[in-house]
Structure 1
């Protein structure tokens, strides 16, 4: 399994979190099969896996209240493991290809209203909290990047100081997304101004090669800190639990689309590998699309 995980990281360039999830799913499957068969799982025995064994594993996971998406990921990981074994000449596991992926219900992203999304990036909204002002400025800058440029929280916190242009000296960020893929993302000057306001008051050293966003003690900033900040603020703003850091990214895409943004351009900005991933936002803005249809179609 160690060689398989190395292959996923080095050749497939999967993210550390995906590799971790695949490894966890594979271990859970092997542990289940060991109990299911009443013997240790060897490569030879695993190659003799039958479809009924896989279905039994999936049913056991479903009984543990595991959702459809997690089951689909587990099946994808097991298939990847099986392909690796076959490529290495260690056996062919045909049963996995006979299993249908579980159905996953489509759920639309829950964007935040434009006015509320802007308030998350306003440091003055937190002026009553017993925290140092530079921390208010830091959190406002991070949330401004999530909403203003549509970054994932890992992408924002992964920015190095040298990656962020000085105000007036540039309007593009180069971010590293999933699979270590880089992309260019435009950044608004008022968002850059918030970032540099934070830099100016940050009490810790921020070298060019180091992360631009740091924690209270100067180490890398944990995503959990931003999640907790948003949890406190959404309570004050009267927003639902769905108002998370990732919801700011959803809001970026939804609000662009509602203002006439091109779907293909939004796909590139978000760093989606497939246009179908970006198309979920059309479901949110269906009323606008229907209005365009009625206006433009000759038989409408």
Structure 2
């Protein structure tokens, strides 16, 4: 008989994640995967401390073959289970971490592709005629897309921007990223123009709605802070309305920022800093290096690749 219930054990683990400054998104994802385990037909009614190698293998097979989730989703699930087992091992609730020989079946690469610079310019320059009924909302969505691309922001970071985070005089924006890591991102000329237009519309919406200003940059016509999922859906619709096929979700703007910046600067460390990544490996996933830049980087860096040796 175990001294703690599953619910108590999960809560203790989640509390430890908060102390480690894990983001709310990561904590929710980890919690979700453990709850999924408890719902599995082969594990219902069992205690989490009874987890063993066979149960984890069954979980992996069920998620991949029955639920048909992507490799990326399966990785997230297994990452949560691995973290949970590591915690239990540290607390000596278990004697072994059974995750060590569990392999992930990679079925696809679901990361969004960067958007070509010319295509992105066409979308953000907004030369298509505006629908008068949704004119102001589209200008809001364009401002959101410009800022997301200008700073390489996650949708959660974009959604959380407050007016107090913006410095128009220095063209800088304070962002709170994963793990409560704060960074400063920059606003380009186009982003500033779109932001200035949106701020005028925003003031009109607040006034018309007759509500107290919530302080967040992106709001709905009601004057309230727009829901994160709705903001993301609006930006995705803006990108897909271009008509050049499925060019991805709003996260493609972050990938585009990373690739475009790297292909110009060839400085992956700077891009890592601007994206707010803790590890360089995370940044490498985001970057699609064009062939010419790769060749030039090689020629510039390799001591025996230059045409004329001293």
Instruction: Tell me, yes or no, whether TM beats 0.5.
Output: yes
Cα distance, 1:237 vs. partner? 2.2
| Rounded Cα–Cα distance in structure 2 between residues aligned with 1:244 and 1:94 | 36
| TM-aligned CA deviation for residue 160 of structure 1 | 0.5
Instruction: Give the structure 1 partner of residue 3 of structure 2.
Output: none
* Equivalent in the alignment of 1:171: 171
Alpha-carbon offset, residue 153 of structure 1: 1.8
Distance 1:208 1:185, change over 3 A: farther
Q: Distance in 2 between matches of 1:252 and 1:93?
A: 42
Residues 225/116 of structure 1: CA separation in 2 closer, same or farther (3 Å cut): farther
Q: CA 1:223–1:118 in 2, change beyond 3 Å: closer, same or farther?
A: farther
C-alpha separation in 2, matches of 1:26 and 1:178:
21
Query: Residue 174 of structure 1 aligns to a residue in which SS?
Result: strand
Structure 1: distance between partners of 2:30 and 2:232: 25
TM-score w.r.t. length of structure 1: 0.84
Question: Does the CA contact (< 8 Å) of 2:114 and 2:252 recur in 1?
Answer: yes
Q: How far off its partner does 1:113 sit? A: 1.9
Distance in 2 (alpha carbons) for counterparts of 1:231 and 1:209: 25
Q: 2:253 aligns with which of 248, 254, 277?
A: 248
Please, what TM-score do these two structures have when normalized by structure 2? 0.81
The count of corresponding residues between Structure 1 and Structure 2 is 290
Alpha-carbon separation, structure 2, partners of 1:275 and 1:286: 21
Alignment deviations for residues 216-271 of structure 1 (CA, whole Å, 9 cap, x no partner): 21121234334443444445422222332111121112111222341110110011
Is 1:111 aligned with 2:120?
no
Can you list the C-alpha shifts for 1:104-132, whole angstroms capped at 9, x where unaligned? 7556641112233234334564513521x
- Deviating above 4 A after TM superposition, structure 1's stretches of 4 or more consecutive aligned residues are 101-109, 205-209, 294-297
* Residue range with higher mean Cα deviation, 140-149 or 224-233: 224-233
Q: Report the Cα distance in structure 2 between the residues aligned to 1:234 and 1:171, rounded to whole angstroms.
A: 25
Could you tell me which residue of structure 1 aligns to residue 53 of structure 2?
A: 51
**Structure 1's 96 and 111: CA in aligned 2 closer, same or farther, altered over 3 A?**
closer
- Map 1:1-300 to 2 at 5 A: 1-8=10-17, 10-32=18-40, 35-36=41-42, 40-42=45-47, 46-47=49-50, 49-63=51-65, 64-103=67-106, 109-122=112-125, 125=128, 127-128=130-131, 130-131=133-134, 133-166=135-168, 169-202=169-202, 203-204=205-206, 210-294=215-299, 297=302, 298-299=304-305
Gaps of 5+ in 2: 1-9
Deviation at 1:29, TM superposition (A): 1.2
- Shift of the alpha carbon at 1:147? 1.3
In 2, the alpha carbon distance for the partners of 1:286 and 1:107 equals: 22
